[in-house]
Structure 1
Amino acid sequence: MPSPDKSINWTSLITIASAAVLIGTELLGAAWASGWALAGFFQLGPTFETILQAVFGLCAIYAIVVFLRQATRVEPIFKRG
């Protein structure tokens, strides 16, 4: 929880949130499609397809978290005021 002497920098917050939605959607979509494509290419079946999609999805979520951490360092959400 921010201290009372900090205020929210709305421009940075909206920028980071918008970029996170865009990048997150692309990463999760690519993860799902990669699991589907690899399972189909190697004829692994629906169980392994789901497993691959879950593994790639977790990697995508990790990448989103790393992106958010780096983005908040470059564009701070809270400003002293």
Structure 2
Amino acid sequence: MSQKPINFLHLSTLVAVAILVGTELVGASWAAGWALGGLFQLDPMISHALEALFSLLGFIGLYFFMKTAVRNEPIRG
């Protein structure tokens, strides 16, 4: 069974979109945790925990975004 060749135009598009959207999602998520910690004057440990939680949510969002992007812009084909 032979596989289709890699379409490097699609691959480069997906890599660029992963970098751009990933930076935006994870950065905004981390900043939201930092802002909420400062707004409510939370303990620094709680603030860091919020930052980590929101960053994790940003990575989860990036995962689902990229899953959809690869489905619509296949690497092979």
Tell me the TM-score range normalised by the shorter chain: over 0.9
SS in 1 for 2:5: strand
Q: Please, what TM-score do these two structures have when normalized by structure 1?
A: 0.88
Match of 1:17 among 15, 20, 23: 15
Deviations 1:8-64 (A, max 9, x none): 110111101101100100111111111111001101121011110111011100111
Structure having the larger proportion of residues in strand: 1
Aligned length in residues:
77
Structure 1: gaps of 5 or more residues: none
Alignment correspondent of 2:48: 50
**C-alpha distance in 1, partners of 2:47/2:34?**
6
Moved segments of 4+, more than 2 Å: none
Q: Please, what TM-score do these two structures have when normalized by structure 2?
A: 0.93
